[in-house]
Amino acid sequence: MSSPSNILRIAVPTPLYRIFDYLPHSTQNMDTLEPGVRVRVPFGRTKSIGVLVELAETSDIEHGRLKPILECLDEHPALPQDILELVSWASNYYHYPIGEAINTALPAALRKGLPDKSKPVISWCLTPEGKSADQKDLKRAPRQAAVHICLQQYPEGAKSEQLQQLPGDWRGGLQALIKRGWVVKQETNMTPQTAESQAQPHLQLNSYQQEAVDNISAALGSFQAFLLHGVTGSGKTEVYLQVIDAVLGAGQQVLVLVPEIGLTPQLVQRFQQRFQIPITVFHSGLSDSERLEAWLAARNGSASIILGTRSAIFTPLKNPGLIIVDEEHDVSLKQQDGFRYSARDLAVMRGRFLQVPVVLGSATPSLESMHNAAESRYQLLGLPDRAGDACHASIELLDMRAQPMDEGLSHKLLQRMQQHLDQGSQVLLFLNRRGYAPVLMCHECGWTAGCDRCDTHMTLHKQRNRLCCHHCGADRVIEKTCPNCTNEELKPIGQGTQRTEQALQQHFPDITISRIDRDSTRRKGSMESMLEDALSGKSQILIGTQLLAKGHHFPNVTMVGILDTDQGLFSADFRGTERMVQLALQVAGRAGRAEKPGQVLIQTHHPDHPLLGMLSGQDYSHISDGLLQERKQACLPPFSNLALLRAEAADYSMPHQFLQHAKEMAAHLDIQYIEFMGPVPAPMERRAGRYRAQLLLQSENRPALHRLLKQWTPSLEKIKSARKVRWSLDVDPLDMF
């Protein structure tokens, strides 16, 4: 007979790379102890809430030294088995402590130990006595009378939202009516959603869309990753909608990941219009309890369509049928701090675990995904044409060399803008730099205003009359005189969106201009109202940063100007060119919808650059082939695998010391096939007052790299200087800064 499994292996949220063994408490009902339940445990000198990962028969720790748990918080697992598996896999792959990884997957309310169940919906309704009562009896009790009248309108029961509409103290009136026996309080659970017939009919698909829908539909019930590649407006969303309909028809759920909900209101709206069921949306505006409700609805199967940003990848699903990742190339799908997972890559892994298809969609897929498609790991579904009657925008390069310029706007560009405006069309200008000017310089001695805490310039924000650091958030009033030579002539150098807006206003004094960037949309609702002005045609010129490049469709925009592409051509990051091309094509996709042919003009001082030449051909597959060739020659991802160890400290030498030590430790392990680069200072060495350095590991052999990381990463915490630095490991880093 086997010995009983009564060692509880528990993941506790702590930066340590292990799980912890505990004993059941003395009156423990062992039947409810399934992996996935939350338990309160003594941890060091405090108490902590952990998650039971497995039951074991033996422990490496002597039995007498094991402590019992304090209590088990759940009767049933809060985290279903498949989420536990996904998180364990991710913790392993990203070499991130399991306890913290699991914590990331739990909604905040559950992390804090709140009950794992829906809050009942509370409402009040009239008793039979209350219904037949005579209003006259309440003549002297106006508060009660008001509540009584209100409840008569809600035979199913009124909630506090409805009663709140009443003037005065409705709670007092309500209590008095309950005392009379005229009203009872009732608690009901959230009504489950059922997939009813669709609200809006499907569109007639073109043959490419049909082929995509057929292929994905045929894969339902099994795992297959698809790369849906189609220019903006080619009808990808329509493909999603029709496949989703099939999944809902089979009684299953769909998980849709998007980069930023705030930037995709139109997508959410289209989902909402197409299906009669409510869409469960995870967005940053939810309170802890709203988030928990949405999470529970997904887990119990009552939510059918779940839409969220990257962290939604850990949403439990009762009947999973399909996972969609829209804009799969977007960097925001990768978490940039703490648990640095890629939601896109985890989506593919989750699809494999769950045996459901995964659709990655983009007009400009990541090179990683293009490569996976080329290697047949993903099935490529192409939508080469714009759907409906809309036609492709044309892309044209504007040679800026020796051209007259006005605040970054060439005369050629201004002329073309005038033509489009004269025709009553809208113009969109893209400049990925907010503020007035990126640099403030002394004309006399060349001094520039730098950030005291970062190795970077302060950006001039003229309206607020301040200098701001876009890296650490520091700001200060603008110097009146040069601190170096006391000269009074300080000049803004370069263009930000504010400066361009100002210049445009002078050029086109009668035209309404909307500037859309993080500064102009900070106030709640301002983004929405600006988008409204853009869509209604009230504002004729739109100038913005990448906020404008995503998600929104402006049917009346016939010209897009890209003001500054050149910096992307010479970026220090090896992904710089890929990003530049993606951004340019994404922006280009905003124009020329709705049957109006669009024109994209790119200002450049390097019109002969091969990449720009390819860009005007607009064949993304062709461009990505070229970029992949370069990556291959340089042995960069996706042809090799990277892991970046970062360290930072207030002390200048500490990060280097730590990384050097880490590298020496690795030398004792199996480092065959692995190349170490560094330690070197980070591209921006000082940020927010801390010095930063990094050590890059590169290998063509992924298993070898991960074998090393598995041994090496947990031992890093033992390095003496580890306590004096903040360090982190980034597997498959997207950003080398």
- Which positions touch ligand ADP (CB under 6 A)? 203-206, 209, 230, 232-238, 387-388
Smaller CB distance to Zn ion: residue 6 or 484? Answer: 484
The entry of ligand ADP, Zn ion, none near residue 55 (CB within 5 to 8 angstroms by kind) is none
Nearest distance in Å: CB 256, ligand ADP: 12
Nearest distance in Å: CB 474, Zn ion: 5
Does residue 638 have a cis peptide bond before it, meaning omega lies within 30 degrees of 0? Answer: yes
What DSSP string describes 395-406? EEEEE-TT--EE
What's 35's DSSP letter?
T
Which amino acid is it at 372?
N
The entry of Zn ion, ligand ADP, none near residue 451 (CB within 5 to 8 angstroms by kind) is Zn ion
C-alpha pair distances (Å), 652 with each of 43, 645, 680, 689: 34, 17, 12, 10
Smaller CB distance to Zn ion: residue 453 or 605? Answer: 453
Nearest distance in Å: CB 433, Zn ion: 16
Nearest distance in Å: CB 237, ligand ADP: 3
Smaller CB distance to Zn ion: residue 89 or 737? Answer: 737
Smaller CB distance to Zn ion: residue 447 or 676? Answer: 447
Other C-beta atoms closer than 10 Å to the C-beta of 555 total 17
3-class DSSP state of 428:
strand
CB-based contacts of 179: which residues, under 8 Å, 6+ apart? Answer: none
Q: How many residues does the chain have?
A: 737
Smaller CB distance to Zn ion: residue 468 or 729? Answer: 468
Smaller CB distance to ligand ADP: residue 551 or 638? Answer: 551
The entry of Zn ion, ligand ADP, none near residue 235 (CB within 5 to 8 angstroms by kind) is ligand ADP
The entry of ligand ADP, Zn ion, none near residue 330 (CB within 5 to 8 angstroms by kind) is none
The entry of Zn ion, ligand ADP, none near residue 485 (CB within 5 to 8 angstroms by kind) is Zn ion
The entry of Zn ion, ligand ADP, none near residue 189 (CB within 5 to 8 angstroms by kind) is none
The entry of ligand ADP, Zn ion, none near residue 518 (CB within 5 to 8 angstroms by kind) is none
349 sits in the region (left: phi over 0; alpha: psi -120 to 50; else beta) called alpha
Smaller CB distance to ligand ADP: residue 73 or 383? Answer: 383
Smaller CB distance to ligand ADP: residue 228 or 697? Answer: 228
Nearest distance in Å: CB 360, ligand ADP: 13
The entry of ligand ADP, Zn ion, none near residue 590 (CB within 5 to 8 angstroms by kind) is none
Q: Where are the beta strands (DSSP E) in 163-295?
A: 183-188, 225-230, 253-257, 280-282
- Which helix (H) or strand (E) covers residue 49, if one does? strand 46-56
* Helices 620-633, 576-588: inter-axial angle, 10-degree rounding: 170
Smaller CB distance to Zn ion: residue 352 or 726? Answer: 726
Cβ-contact 53, 11 below 8 angstroms: yes
C-alpha pair distances (Å), 538 with each of 223, 340, 541, 591: 47, 42, 9, 17
The residues of the shown chain that bind Zn ion, judged by CB under 5 A, are 442, 444-445, 447, 451, 453-454, 469, 471-472, 474, 482, 484-485, 487
Nearest distance in Å: CB 261, ligand ADP: 16
Nearest distance in Å: CB 203, ligand ADP: 4
Nearest distance in Å: CB 553, ligand ADP: 7
Smaller CB distance to ligand ADP: residue 274 or 470? Answer: 274
The entry of ligand ADP, Zn ion, none near residue 205 (CB within 5 to 8 angstroms by kind) is ligand ADP
The entry of Zn ion, ligand ADP, none near residue 388 (CB within 5 to 8 angstroms by kind) is ligand ADP
| Token couple for 389 | 């009657």
The entry of Zn ion, ligand ADP, none near residue 482 (CB within 5 to 8 angstroms by kind) is Zn ion
Smaller CB distance to ligand ADP: residue 238 or 501? Answer: 238
Cβ-contact 380, 227 below 8 angstroms: yes
The entry of Zn ion, ligand ADP, none near residue 558 (CB within 5 to 8 angstroms by kind) is none
Smaller CB distance to Zn ion: residue 233 or 655? Answer: 655
Nearest distance in Å: CB 459, Zn ion: 10
State the pairing for strand pair 158-159/20-22: unpaired
The entry of Zn ion, ligand ADP, none near residue 444 (CB within 5 to 8 angstroms by kind) is Zn ion
Smaller CB distance to ligand ADP: residue 84 or 333? Answer: 333
Smaller CB distance to ligand ADP: residue 273 or 423? Answer: 273
Helix and strand element counts for the chain (H, E): 22, 32
Smaller CB distance to Zn ion: residue 360 or 460? Answer: 460
Nearest distance in Å: CB 106, ligand ADP: 33
Nearest distance in Å: CB 309, ligand ADP: 18
**Burial state string for 250-275 with b = 16 or more CB within 10 A and e = fewer than 16:** eebbbbbbbbbbbbbeebbebbbebb
CA proximity to 441, closest of 464, 425, 457, 428: 457
C-alpha pair distances (Å), 295 with each of 114, 191, 292, 300, 306: 14, 15, 5, 9, 9
Nearest distance in Å: CB 475, Zn ion: 9
The entry of ligand ADP, Zn ion, none near residue 230 (CB within 5 to 8 angstroms by kind) is ligand ADP
3-state class percentages of the chain: helix first, strand second, coil last, to nearest 5: 35, 25, 40
The entry of ligand ADP, Zn ion, none near residue 218 (CB within 5 to 8 angstroms by kind) is none
Nearest distance in Å: CB 213, ligand ADP: 10
What DSSP string describes 680-718? EEEEEEEETTEEEEEEEEEES-HHHHHHHHHHHHHHHTT
Nearest distance in Å: CB 480, Zn ion: 12
C-alpha pair distances (Å), 444 with each of 447, 477, 495: 8, 20, 21
CB-based contacts of 693: which residues, under 8 Å, 6+ apart? Answer: 646, 647, 648, 655, 656, 659, 678, 679, 680, 681, 682, 685
3-class DSSP string for 434-459: CCCECEEEECCCCCECECCCCCCECE
Nearest distance in Å: CB 432, Zn ion: 19
CA proximity to 413, closest of 391, 428, 394: 428
What's 423's DSSP letter?
T
CA proximity to 330, closest of 625, 623, 583: 583
CB-based contacts of 370: which residues, under 8 Å, 6+ apart? Answer: 227, 229, 621, 624, 625, 628
Nearest distance in Å: CB 240, ligand ADP: 8
Give the neighbor-by-neighbor strand order of the sheet with 674-687: 674-687, 690-699, 641-649, 726-731
Q: With the C-alpha atoms ordered 23, 43, 92, 672, is the resulting torsion angle positive or negative?
A: negative
The entry of Zn ion, ligand ADP, none near residue 236 (CB within 5 to 8 angstroms by kind) is ligand ADP
Smaller CB distance to ligand ADP: residue 209 or 713? Answer: 209
